[in-house]
Amino acid sequence: MSQFSTNQTKKQDGTGTLHVGIDFALEKNVCVVTNGNGEKLDYFSFPQDRGGYDYFLKRVKMISQKQSESRLIVAMEPSNYFWKLMARELEENGITYHLVNAYTVKKHREGNQLDRSKDDRRDAVQIAELSRNGHYTETKLQKGTYEEIKQYAVVYHQLSRAIRREQHILWGLVGQAFPEYFQIFKNLNGETSRAILISNACAAEIRKMKEDDFLAEVKAAYLGKRLSITKAQQIYQLAANSIGILEGLQAIQLSIQIHFSNIQRFQMQLNQVTDAMTNCLVSLPEAEYLLSVKSLGVVSIALFLAEIGDPKRYKSASQWVKLAGIQPTPSSSGKKQHGRTPISRQGRPHLRTMLYFSCLRMIQYDSHFALLYSKLQRRSKNPLTKMQALGVLMNKLLHILWALIHHQTMYNPAFAQSI
């Protein structure tokens, strides 16, 4: 994270610095070199391979020597995986690099180009200019186990999204074939529900069958320990007067079976990733202190460290608050004010989501958090809404985790109250 304001950064860089802006692409990257005054000194492109990277390093170093500039800074957008490849090369060669927000580049370009024209060279120029003016972060590559757990977290989120997508499709299919089904089962993935849907999910087909034959098919498809016969009978009765569709039922039945199979496969893979991520977590030095917060859970702590990386990179818990995007941010114009100092939501969404659900659990199982949550809403002066109170708890949780790591101590409600 950047530790300086824009003005301080500009003063630190000085005029004796070359700023190199790179616009990445799949096959060819575009590079623009400018000096501390913003004057363009060079423009070239290089391919996305070993030879291209060697050429880039050789050329920018040659320009730096020719200009007799003592410092070289490379700026780039954190686009896809390209920036990681370049960052590794730069770190190995001792070259400073900055990351420039892609949204900032777009708006900066639109402000300078009234015709909204866009090409790789323009973007490279904008990136170099933003770096020169101090509009960047100094995020660095993760190392060792921290990078490993981060990659596991990426797969974890991908599989979680895949499962939710399959479940959403499943709801749509069941809704067509048997709309009344949801009166009995709110969760389609339960063992009894799964057995019914796998064997026969279409109301029009169920009502053609005798009840004993229907129940026999459900029992044959059931994989759990205790089938809910009562609910299966209720489903059979509802099928008699269902408004479900009458055409394309074989295709719908096959689709439901396929999506159940996909959910099961993704869930098995998710369990594998969770186990691997947990093994990474326990090998980290701060794991024992974080795991002492029993209400959080192993997966939540692993996802937390995957987002922040090595805690030693930060100087205070307030940097974590900003990283999560939960710091209060005024939003007003003239006499209009949008909300009561809402959180910025400009940080990492996965970290924010993890904190949100963790605080919901802490309210249920941690006496200090439950009491504080109630007090924030009931205080006489400036009482908070439920969501605002949760925002305060999310902020507090980050400060507690920070204190646990840096004081190397175990969690208890009394310790939390002192933070």
Q: Are 395 and 363 members of one domain?
A: yes
The residue with greater pLDDT, 353 or 71, is 353
Q: Are 235 and 302 members of one domain?
A: no
Lowest mean pLDDT among 11-20, 267-276, 387-396: 11-20
% of the chain surpassing 90 pLDDT: 69
Lowest mean pLDDT among 102-116, 167-181, 346-360, 397-411: 102-116
Q: Are 190 and 247 members of one domain?
A: yes
Q: Are 49 and 129 members of one domain?
A: yes
Rg (CA), the chain: 28
- Whether pLDDT at 413 is above 90: no
Q: Are 88 and 164 members of one domain?
A: no
Cα(270)–Cα(273) distance, rounded to whole angstroms? 5
Q: Are 261 and 292 members of one domain?
A: no
Q: Which of 120, 141, 162 is the last residue of a domain?
A: 141
What is the side-by-side order of every strand in the sheet holding 71-76?
40-47, 28-34, 17-23, 71-76, 96-99
Is residue 47 situated within a structural domain? yes
Cβ neighbours around 407 below 10 Å, total: 10
The 10s digit of each residue's pLDDT in 331-362 is: 555 556 555 557 777 788 999 999 999 999 99
Residue 2 pLDDT grade (very low, low, confident, very high; cuts 50, 70, 90): very low
Cα(62)–Cα(212) distance, rounded to whole angstroms? 84
Cα(180)–Cα(172) distance, rounded to whole angstroms? 13
Q: Are 68 and 164 members of one domain?
A: no
Q: Where residue 136 sits, what CATH number does that domain have?
A: 3.30.420.40
* Residue 333, CA distances (Å) to 147, 237, 325, 338 in order: 42, 59, 21, 9
Tokens representing residue 378 in the block: 């009931």
- Whether pLDDT at 75 is above 80: yes
The residue with greater pLDDT, 183 or 328, is 183
- Whether pLDDT at 109 is above 80: no
Is residue 410 situated within a structural domain? yes
Q: Is 207 helix (H, G, I), strand (E, B) or coil?
A: coil
Q: Are 398 and 289 members of one domain?
A: yes
Cα(366)–Cα(39) distance, rounded to whole angstroms? 58
- Whether pLDDT at 12 is above 60: no
Q: Which of 109, 141, 173 is the last residue of a domain?
A: 141
The 10s digit of each residue's pLDDT in 292-337 is: 998 898 999 999 999 999 999 999 999 999 999 988 776 555 556 5
pLDDT of residue 38: 85
Averaged pLDDT, 151-160: 97
Q: Are 407 and 320 members of one domain?
A: yes
Closest CA to 382 of 320, 418, 332, 328: 328
Is residue 155 situated within a structural domain? yes
Averaged pLDDT, 15-21: 85
pLDDT of residue 116: 61
Lowest mean pLDDT among 11-25, 45-59, 98-112, 129-143: 11-25
pTM of the model: 0.85
Q: Are 234 and 356 members of one domain?
A: no
Is residue 333 situated within a structural domain? no
Is residue 1 situated within a structural domain? no
Range of the domain at 290: 285-328+339-418
Is residue 103 situated within a structural domain? yes
pLDDT of residue 11: 46
Is residue 334 situated within a structural domain? no
Q: Where residue 188 sits, what CATH number does that domain have?
A: 1.10.287
Q: Are 94 and 220 members of one domain?
A: no
CA 144, 137, 27 angle in degrees (round to 5)? 75
Is residue 154 situated within a structural domain? yes
Return mean pLDDT, the chain: 89
The 10s digit of each residue's pLDDT in 200-247 is: 999 999 999 999 999 999 999 998 888 999 999 999 999 999 999 999
Cα(38)–Cα(209) distance, rounded to whole angstroms? 79
Q: Which of 141, 160, 185 is the last residue of a domain?
A: 141
- Whether pLDDT at 1 is above 90: no
Check: CB of residue 32 under 8 Å from CB of residue 128.
yes
The 10s digit of each residue's pLDDT in 253-280 is: 999 999 999 999 999 999 999 999 999 9
pLDDT of residue 152: 97
- Whether pLDDT at 60 is above 50: yes
Please tell me what DSSP assigns to residue 101. -
Q: Are 169 and 119 members of one domain?
A: no
> What is the number of domains present in the chain?
3
* Strand spans (E) along 312-384: 332-333, 336-337
